[in-house]
Amino acid sequence: MPKAGWCDGCKAYVWVTESGGCVNGHDAAMLSGIYEAEPDRGVLEEALESAERAAERAGEATKVAWDEAKPALKDAGRTAEKAAGEFAEGLKRFGEAIAGRTPKASDPAPPPPGTPEASVGDDEKS
């Protein structure tokens, strides 16, 4: 059971630490009238109830905020999807305009920039 006593340094009844001193740092020599004390359970229950109510209010506020944000998030998603599609389509048209046609999977890939192109027939000399 926790202990309490009078602290001459604090000029008040205080909780006593396990080492025998005052919870505010005063030495055990400054304490007198030490007794076993039980914490006020009403204060603990009130604090727990208050925390519970605060958590409920926070949960309700979060739900309201989420519900309000959902339509905007859906609209933003649709807008982003449309913009990405338009960008892809534009990029495709750009590539077709540069190449004159859409490359096919069977087309050979070009060599990296700066690589000298092999002469026709070089492979046949080896």
Instruction: Indicate whether 74 belongs to any domain.
Output: no
In this model, does residue 50 exceed pLDDT 70? yes
Tally of domains within the chain:
1
* 64 in a structural domain: no
Whether 84 is covered by a domain: the verdict is: no
Q: Is residue 110 part of a domain?
A: no
Closest to 12 (Cα-Cα) out of 37, 30, 39 = 30
Flag whether 60 is in a domain. Answer: no
Q: What is the pTM of this model?
A: 0.35
In a domain, 13, yes or no: yes
With beta carbons less than 8 A apart as the criterion, state whether 11 and 3 touch.
no
Whether residue 54 lies inside any domain: the answer is: no
| pLDDT beyond 70 at 124 | no
pLDDT score at 29: 96
- The more confident residue out of 35 and 122 is 35
Host domain of residue 21: 3-39
Domain annotation covers residue 34:
yes
